[in-house]
Chain A
């Protein structure tokens, strides 16, 4: 496995502001993903973070609202823009490790509350 870290672990933000979440992995990674888990719900894939190019977004998620960067193989950021209370969720970074077939591992998550 690998150590996947996310910063911040939690935050409370005001409506209309933006928050950038960082994900760092200590091993070689083939793919990185961002998920959202709304209160009491399962995980929903937001996008696949592509190194050096635009992320691939799932239906219902757009780049203007959730800009994603991945400047290198082991680091990615997700920004939640112009936040509203509906954005209150846990945001999770997930990775496929090199040499680990198609097993996906999750970071500890960022718990976001929007007031």
Chain B
């Protein structure tokens, strides 16, 4: 069973801090990795994709990928209360997206 694992949280950080979200995956052959954000009662929206080892930055968001360790993370700098949501890690395997269980993030003012 190919798996994508995330800590369910909740992860609570103060406003302005860095939030660090982590994800591990089981399929060594995976090449495409995604982070989605899902607000309560809404559908997932894509934040970032990453395909190569290393860091990829987009505004306050940085995705990090380490294929050797089968690990992908998302850093949110200067966290805002509006970042409070569930963050879903997704890995493409065999042409299909496999989702982790999501990490609930709460940013306290």
Contacts and interface: CB of A to CB of B under 8 A. Distances in A.
Contacts of A33: 96-97
Interface stretch (A68-76, A80-88, A104-112): A104-112
Nearest to B4: A42
A2 interface: no
Contacts of A42: 88, 99-102
Interface string B26-50: 0000001010100000111110010
B97 A41 contact: no
Interface in B1-44: 32, 34, 36, 42-44
A107 B43 contact: yes
Dominant SS among interface residues on chain B? strand
Given A43-B44, A107-B43, A102 B100 contact: no
A103 interface: yes
Given A43-B88, A103-B49, A108 B97 contact: no
A45 B102 contact: no
A43 B96 CA distance: 12
A103 B47 CA distance: 11
* 6 A-B pairs closest in CB distance: A106-B43, A43-B99, A42-B101, A109-B43, A42-B99, A106-B44
Interface of A: 33, 41-45, 48, 58, 90, 92, 94, 102-109
Given A43-B88, A104-B46, A108-B43, 10 more contacts: A42-B88, A42-B102, A43-B44, A43-B97, A45-B97, A102-B32, A103-B34, A104-B34, A106-B44, A107-B43
